[in-house]
Structure 1
Amino acid sequence: MSNLKNPLGLLMAILIRVPLVLKTILLHSIRLSPVTGKQDLRTELTVAILRSIIVFTSPVGKQQNDSLRDPGIKGPMWVSKVTLPRPEDDVQDAVIRAIEELKVGDESYNIPGVVPVEAEWTGYRSGVGKNAPQPDISEEAKYEELRKECKEDMVILYLHGGAYFLLDPCTYRPVVTQLSKRTGAPVLSVRYRLAPQNPFPAALIDALVAYLSLVSPPPGSLHEPVPPSKIIIAGDSAGGNLSLVLLQTILTLRRACPVVRFHGRDVPIELPAGVATSSPWCDVTRSMPSVFHNSVYDYLDPPTQNPEVSYRPLAVPEDDVWPVKPPRVDLYANANALLHPLVSPLAGRAEIWQGAPPIFIAMGEEGLSDEGLILARKMHRAGVPVIVEQFEGMPHCFGLIMMGTPAGRRFYDNTAQFCRDVVTGTLTADTPTPGNVTYIGYKLRHTREIPLEKAVPLTDEEVAEILRKGAQWRVEGEKELEEEWLGKAKL
């Protein structure tokens, strides 16, 4: 994908995809496309082109570096870069306490340490053109200008997507600017540590540092303390996963360790106003049926799921980033930890969610839809006010990649309305919700309510068995890799 950064590379990328574009247009026009009646031509072309671009063939380090390139800051946005200073190790101790409280077996994980966390304050900037440069002023002055325009007292803590090993707050500026514009709130977008260099639970520790930094600002912070009741945690894809596991961590710590030492102060662990997610990645094994059944609508190819063959790690040229030593089959976590609730929220018990604030889940008719719907079912059974919206025929994170479409605008509008409702108290943890998914039809022409209990025809027992099999292939594959690695080391 790095070739798209220069004009010649972009031209070549366009030329080699001309046959794909023409074929897609032809099949769509004569209504022989497999997505006829589910996707308009723009959506179908977007999915087809993205599917052709997202091919993981280069070394992981190169893929990662290419995805981190800063596009610069221009247009209707304020961005103030900050570094949240390293707190005491108590934050890591708290996360480990939550991990241990939720363990169900012999899950293993790294102890990553606590580090300073970089982040970006982002807000909508009115009255400027799309190419207007940001003024050459200090980060503090930028924050002050941002706060003048972001008049609401809520704050959105945003955790970006990218499968836990790609992307960055700098690539998400247009997304969080849209959220700021629609809510009137500033957004703190977190540069959490990426795998495979920093596997689970490094990102979770960084996310908790960011959350506590909002509640109890470290010395030298630009912002004033933000009450938890004014914070919305938000994220997409892997960032949706991280948003949900951060909430699970907070819920668990409230029961097991309700106070954390943070920059010399004892900070109570309190719940945010709500959590808003887009296409959350709830099953890191990607084992649910929709991964395959909905692949025609999505640009993410389904993973190999063959029980006859031990699962192998991402097959790309080696570099100093991947594969790791000792070997793992998964970029993000050890194979025996893939079903830990703080890795794959889908695998957790429904009781973990008891007492949670309202949760918003938006998704397309995509590969990850089953896991999101089943998790929402668990939340509802635990008494959580959960609002679910599914858009017919839409791919993964459609609102982020197709902002200007009717579906994209509705996604941002509804997310913003949820944020306002939970902060004003219109929607609280005690508000009863019907437990439905709102299914939004093709081109927004109709909607219908589907009970979460009927949205996915799998029982909890069937889900657990599918997850167990998906994880077991990886566990067996990782053992084989370790044996091979140890054998080579002895030579």
Structure 2
Amino acid sequence: MNKYMLNALKTFSHVDIKKNYKLIRQAYIIAKKPRIKLTYQTWDFYIKNSGHNIPIRIFSPVSKKIEGLALKKYPAIVFLHGGGWVMEDVDTYEKTCLTIARQTGHIVVAVDYRLAPENPFPAALMDCYKVVRTVIRWHKMSGIPHKITLMGDSAGGNLAAAVSLLMRNKGEKTVDRQILIYPVTYNNHTETSPFPSVIENGTDYILTSKHMCDYMDLYCEKAENRESPYCAPLLAGDFSSQPETLIITAQYDPLRDEGEEYGRKLKEAGNSVIVHRVKDAMHGYFTLSVNYSAVKESYHIINQFLRGEQVK
């Protein structure tokens, strides 16, 4: 990493998330505004949930124009974006969602869940749960034979894991597979964390331990909520009956160890689990260009997993 990138990361590492989250939201919108016109089809819909509408955007995996019924021929990924439950949305993740669709050959259903602190825990979780249930129902009613994959990065990975636990606990049909990319799975990111990566990678990188504490304060504002497995999946008393799982972590990420520990817990409970650590990568890398080596590596692993192949 060159010294200019390191200096930029160190500058961002000192940003106060709780004081400046609104300004940071605007910065993401400006920084991630598409520079080119998207040539692939997208569709915007709303799903009703307890008095409000949840926006979703569907991304086509092919460049040619296709009608709605033709979507049945493609398997689906329900994608939950990252951003600490506070930042980002479907618009800022548009390029990432399009890349997922193109690289995997899947329809991508991106969920624009409600953000904290305006809508604290469990608002985002319940929005994601509602959309996943709806997609499962659509597949059942339409007779679509493909598997459904739930996927999320960072806070989105946390929400994906929480949705799978929630559906299991409710006795409902879960998704067939889940892909968790550097997920948040624990509730302590201070110096007392049991995970070494929080200390080793908690400063000077794009995501710091202080940032994670700020995000957790904004999302799970009530102390009792932080003890919920739907806020911190590693606190679940039962890890059984979960979907086939792929967990991807990054070497220089404070969340690395808790993500890998979640994989161990799932595997110990008898689930099919693959954990893959991307070397020389930092938190957030997955939203970079597909030309970046860590992103290429991740899609290679993801596609092996989606095809049911042995992941090396």
> Shorter-chain TM-score: which interval?
0.7 to 0.9
Distance 1:229 1:355 in 2: 20
Distance 1:339 1:420, change over 3 A: same
State the 1:63 CA deviation: 2.9
- Provide the residue aligned with 2:167 in structure 1: 250
Question: Equivalences for 1:320-399 in 2 at 5 Å?
Answer: 330-333=217-220, 334-349=222-237, 352-365=238-251, 366-399=253-286
Task: Give the aligned length.
Answer: 302
Mapping for residues 262-277 of structure 1, pairs under 5 Å: 269-277=172-180
| DSSP-derived class of the 2:247 partner | strand
- Distance apart, 1:398 and its partner CA: 1.9
C-alpha distance 201-304 of structure 1, shift in aligned 2 (>3 A):
closer
Give me the whole-angstrom Cα distance separating, in 1, the residues matched to 2:186 and 2:116.
17
Instruction: Within 5 Å, give how 1:379-458 maps onto structure 2.
Output: 379-421=266-308
Match of 2:206 among 278, 284, 299: 299
SS at match of 1:200: coil
CA contact (8 A) 1:169 1:189 kept: yes
Distance 1:379 1:56, change over 3 A: same
Quick one: which amino acid aligns to residue 59 of structure 1? Answer: N
Is structure 2 residue 33 aligned with structure 1 residue 71?
yes
Question: How far does residue 329 in structure 1 lie from its aligned partner after superposition?
Answer: 8.0
Q: 8 Å contact 2:79–2:108 — kept in the other structure?
A: yes
SS of structure 2 residue aligned to 1:250? helix
Q: How does 1:74-113 map to 2 (within 5 A)?
A: 74-86=37-49, 113=50
Give the RMSD, CA atoms, in angstroms.
3.2
Could you give the per-residue CA deviations for residues 282-309 of structure 1, whole angstroms, max 9, x where no partner exists? 113323321111346832122299xxxx
Structure 2 residue 250 is the aligned partner of structure 1 residue 289: no
Tell me if structure 1 keeps the 8 A contact 2:153–2:181.
yes
Any conservation in 2 of the 1:157–1:233 contact (CA below 8 Å)? yes
Indicate if the aligned counterparts of 1:165 and 1:196 stay in contact, CA closer than 8 A: yes
SS of 2:98's equivalent in the other structure is: helix
Query: Which whole-Å deviations, capped at 9, do the CAs of 1:31-59 have from their partners, x for residues lacking one?
Result: xxxxxxxxxxxxxx3x6534424523653
Task: State how far apart, in whole Å, the 1-side matches of 2:146 and 2:229 are.
Answer: 25
1:477 match: none
What's the TM-score once normalised by structure 1's chain length? 0.56
Q: Residues 58-95 of structure 1, C-alpha deviation per residue, up to 9 Å, x if partnerless?
A: 53333334435682572343221111134xxxxxxxxx
Q: Report which stretch shifted further, 160-169 or 180-189.
A: 180-189
* Paired-residue identity, %: 25
Name the structure 2 match of 1:184. 105
Q: Is the 8 A contact 2:203 2:209 kept in 1?
A: no
Question: Which structure has the larger Rg over C-alpha atoms?
Answer: 1
Maintained 8 Å contact 1:215/1:227: no
Asked whether 1:59 is paired with 2:20, we answer: yes
Residue 396 of structure 1 aligns to which amino acid in structure 2? H
Q: Quote the Cα distance in structure 1 between the aligned partners of 2:176 and 2:230.
A: 20
| TM-score of the two chains, using structure 2 as the length reference | 0.85
Q: After the TM superposition, which residues 24-63 of structure 1 pair with which residues of structure 2 at under 5 Å, given as runs?
A: 24=3, 45=5, 48-53=7-12, 55-56=15-16, 58-63=19-24
Give me the whole-angstrom Cα distance separating, in 2, the residues matched to 1:369 and 1:212.
Answer: 29
Residue in structure 2 matching 1:202, options 98, 106, 123: 123
CA distance in 1, matches of 2:183, 2:267: 17
Between the aligned partners of 1:304 and 1:190, the Cα distance in structure 2 is 23
Question: Offset of 1:124 from its aligned partner?
Answer: 3.5
Contact 1:76 1:125 in 2 (8 A): no
* C-alpha contact (below 8 Å) 1:358/1:385 kept by paired residues: yes
* Structure 1 residues 183 and 274, CA gap change in structure 2 (3 angstroms): same
Distance 1:247 1:51, change over 3 A: farther
Q: Contact 2:228–2:235 at 8 Å: present in 1 too?
A: yes
- Contact 1:114–1:205 (CA under 8 A) maintained in structure 2: no
From the superposition, tell whether residues 400 and 59 of structure 1 become closer, same or farther in structure 2 (CA, over 3 Å): closer
Question: Counterparts of 1:184 and 1:48 in 2: how far apart (Å)?
Answer: 38
- TM-aligned CA deviation for residue 177 of structure 1: 1.5
Alpha-carbon distance, 1:243 to partner: 0.3
Structure-2 change in CA distance of 1:292 and 1:404 (3 Å): same
Q: Distance in 1 between matches of 2:23 and 2:202?
A: 26
Change (3 A) 1:280 1:227: farther
1:227 CA displacement: 5.6
Give structure 2 stretches of 5+ with no counterpart: none
- Structure 1: tracts of 5 or more residues without a match: 1-19, 26-44, 87-112, 128-141, 255-268, 306-312, 315-327, 428-432, 439-491
Following superposition, the deviation at residue 388 of structure 1 comes to 0.6
Q: Distance in 1 between matches of 2:188 and 2:145?
A: 32
**Partners of 1:297 and 1:395 within 8 A in 2:** no
SS of alignment partner, residue 192 of structure 1: coil
Q: Which has the higher strand share?
A: 2
1:216 is matched with 137
CA contact (8 A) 1:228 1:272 kept: no
In the TM superposition, residue 402 of structure 1 has moved relative to its aligned partner by 4.8
What is the CA distance between 1:330 and its match in structure 2?
1.1
| Alignment CA distance shift 1:116-1:81 (3 Å) | same
**Alpha-carbon distance between aligned partners in 1 of 2:285 and 2:88, rounded to the nearest angstrom:** 17
Q: Is the 8 A contact 2:59 2:97 kept in 1?
A: yes
Q: Once the 2 structures are TM-superposed, how far is the Cα of residue 419 of structure 1 from its aligned partner?
A: 2.1
Structure 1 equivalent of residue 67 of structure 2: 144
User: How far apart are 1:228 and its partner, in Å?
Assistant: 8.9
